[in-house]
Amino acid sequence: MVVILDSTATREQIAAVQREIEQAGCGACPAQESRRTILGVIGDTRKIDSEQLQRQSGVEKVLRVTEPYKKANRLFHPENTVVQVADRLIGADKLTVMAGPCSVESEAQIVEIAQAVKTSGAGFLRGGAFKPRSSPYSFQGLKEEGLELLKLARAATGLPIVSEIMSVSMLDRFEAEVDVIQIGARNMQNFDLLKAVGQTRKPVLLKRGMSATIEEFLMSAEYILAEGNENVILCERGIRTFETYTRNTLDLSAVLAIKRLSHLPVLVDPSHAAGLAWMVESLSKAAVAVGADGLIIEVHNDPANARCDGPQSITPERFEALMQSLRAIARCENRVV
């Protein structure tokens, strides 16, 4: 349920409406829409007499929200959410570009890539320290040492770091050491992990599960928001379809749908979507053209010998060219890179 207050509603009137909602055992989350206040109601709203609420002074309209996600719903929060990380804004006019290797492999590798992507204009360094691999025999990441190397690369470049968490047991370390905690596709419905990151105020990059519907994706975001962490960034990274030419199928229509249904920023990961380095530039441009708030791209200085996801990784030189070509598309969309 959403209660839209009149633009002339006084603070006392708004507080009275909030009290009424709370007396019914529900919570009221206020948001501002231009000059009006909106109260998003969470909890069992069947106990609320919406007609009586509608009659209260200061109330313009009461709407029932049919979607199961509430705090992630644009009706609850009409303005776009902008997530701040250090001095960077995710979801604002400037597109967010996160770039770096799939996995951190060595100090020389991560620092060299970080310096290169920074020079080309990336705003964040990505790098996996704990890797969710399909095979237990594949490289699982440098783990804690990987986090240390990411911190060295951050110190060398000033780029905030983004890295994937796999277990609640690592949360204290991630909270203290990384700038954006990534939850990968395979953990999109790890509800304990979602609740745990929800208890922090750390920005969370939540990737869409490979078989998740848009609604399931938004419900996973809701788990984090429901715990009080509003710093959620969504990432479309391709879904499983019958097609095998590409690793996944990039669902660009999901970007449009999510921007309509939700106020949360949406990034696109063309690397995991395609699984093919040669597609990354074109898919990146397409993502910006449909209104994505940014990109997360795998960049490796030696893709042929990468320990993970080499075939989809682009070189720093290709990344530089990609950033140049994005600038023109961004301008058409009234954005900057």
- Interacting residue ranges for Mn ion, rule: CB under 5 A: 102, 309
| Whether 206 contacts 221, CB under 8 Å | yes
| Whether 247 contacts 276, CB under 8 Å | yes
Residue nearest to Mn ion (CB): 102
CB nearer to Mn ion: pick between 1 and 104: 104
Among 71, 207, 247, 300, binds ligand PEP (CB under 6 A): 207
Question: Which residue type sits at 54?
Answer: Q
Task: Say which DSSP state 267 is in.
Answer: E
**What residues from 154 to 193 belong to the interface with ligand PEP (CB under 6 A)?**
184-186
> Of these partners, ligand PEP, Mn ion, none, which one is at the site of residue 188 (CB under 5 to 8 Å by kind)?
none
Among 71, 77, 154, 272, binds ligand PEP (CB under 6 A): 272
Query: Following DSSP, what letter does each residue of 70-84 receive, concatenated?
Result: -TTBTTT--SPP-EE
> Of these partners, ligand PEP, Mn ion, none, which one is at the site of residue 207 (CB under 5 to 8 Å by kind)?
ligand PEP
CB nearer to ligand PEP: pick between 5 and 250: 250
| Whether 316 contacts 117, CB under 8 Å | yes
CA distance 72 to 6: 23
CB nearer to ligand PEP: pick between 131 and 263: 131
User: For the chain, how big is the Rg over CA atoms in Å?
Assistant: 21
> Of these partners, ligand PEP, Mn ion, none, which one is at the site of residue 237 (CB under 5 to 8 Å by kind)?
ligand PEP
CA-based nearest residue to 100, from 333, 324, 337, 303: 303
Is 237 a residue that touches ligand PEP (CB under 6 A)? yes
Closest approach of Cβ 309 to Mn ion, in Å?
4
Residues of the chain by 3-state class (helix, strand, coil), percent to 5: 40, 20, 40
**What residues from 89 to 118 belong to the interface with ligand PEP (CB under 6 A)?**
102
Residues contributing to the site for ligand PEP (CB under 6 A) = 102, 128, 132, 184-186, 207, 237, 269, 272
